[in-house]
A = this chain, B = another copy of it.
Amino acid sequence: MVHIAYDQIYRDLKQQIENATYVYEELLPSQSQLVKRYQCAHNTVRKAIAKLAGEGYCMPIHGKGVRVIWTPSEDRNSFALGGIETFEESAKRNGLTARTHVTLFEYVTVDASLADITGFDEGTEVLHVERVRLLDDRPLIRDRSYYRASMVEGITPEHAERSIYAYVEEELGKRIATSKRTICMEVASESDRQWLDIEGCTHVACVKHRTYDNDALLFEYAESHYHPAHFRFHDTVIRDKA
């Protein structure tokens, strides 16, 4: 007997919601019906529904059913995982072409203050990379990143021009797994004014994140400064029943 993965059921239902097979405010077939349809266990269906609910497609109602809360206008597919619009998507949305410019590429040793900011232990060797992202030659995002040097061996500025993640995943066989972020607004700094095209903007959107590799060890700390007009974030919150 071949198992139908919960992920299959998840993708199937997701497509049917986007297809309008099941529409906004409608109830999905009951879990027991889905169990029959997919010839699987109760828990397997539930896992698929939980994933859909976490992405804002539906919402289970105890004793009643699972209601669709997704509308066609929400094209969440165009957003990458995590909710923040990627640079390329922002480019596409605005009909522009994207480019990356590396402004700094050097190895440093983490001191006390940098340790506090980045989360790397003092004394750790890290690669410090600064990049500017351009849309149609307008510089709109500035990244300052620190990578644990032992995890990006053999990397060159050319890799940084393209995608460091791609290098790490494809060349080194590592996987980026979990990321913790803080989003806030910051007063535009001198460097922001120097590198970004933010005339008439007093503030920039700032995303700070710590990223862990497939071994759950801190791999990267980064701060991204966005032109206010080029930052968007999507999210779905499910409230606890406590």
Contact = CB atoms under 8 A, between A and B. Distances in A.
Interface of A: 7, 25, 43, 53, 56, 58-59, 61, 64, 67, 69, 71, 74, 81-83, 119, 175-187, 200-203, 205, 212, 214-218, 226, 228-229, 231-240, 242
A216 B236 CA distance: 13
Given A69-B216, A203-B185, A81 B240 contact: yes
Nearest to A79: B182
B239 A81 contact: yes
Contact of A229 (B177, B185, B242): B185
A5 B153 CA distance: 45
Contacts of A7: 242
Given A175-B239, A178-B238, A184-B232, 10 more contacts: A25-B216, A61-B214, A61-B216, A64-B215, A67-B215, A67-B217, A69-B216, A182-B233, A183-B235, A185-B205
A178 B56 CA distance: 8
B67 A182 contact: no
Contacts of A71: 119
- Counting every copy of the chain, the complex holds 2
Contacts of A229: 185
A227 B219 CA distance: 33
B232 A59 contact: no
Given A180-B56, A185-B231, A202 B202 contact: yes
Given A176-B239, A237-B178, A228 B203 contact: yes
Given A7-B242, A231-B184, A216 B67 contact: yes
Contacts of A187: 228
Counting chain B CB atoms within 10 Å of each CB, which of A53, A185, A226 scores highest? A185
A180 B236 contact: yes
A212 B69 contact: yes
20 contacts: A59-B177, A59-B216, A69-B180, A81-B239, A83-B237, A176-B239, A180-B236, A181-B237, A183-B183, A184-B232, A184-B233, A185-B185, A185-B226, A187-B228, A200-B202, A201-B202, A202-B203, A202-B228, A233-B233, A235-B235
A208 to B, nearest CB: 10
A238 B177 contact: yes
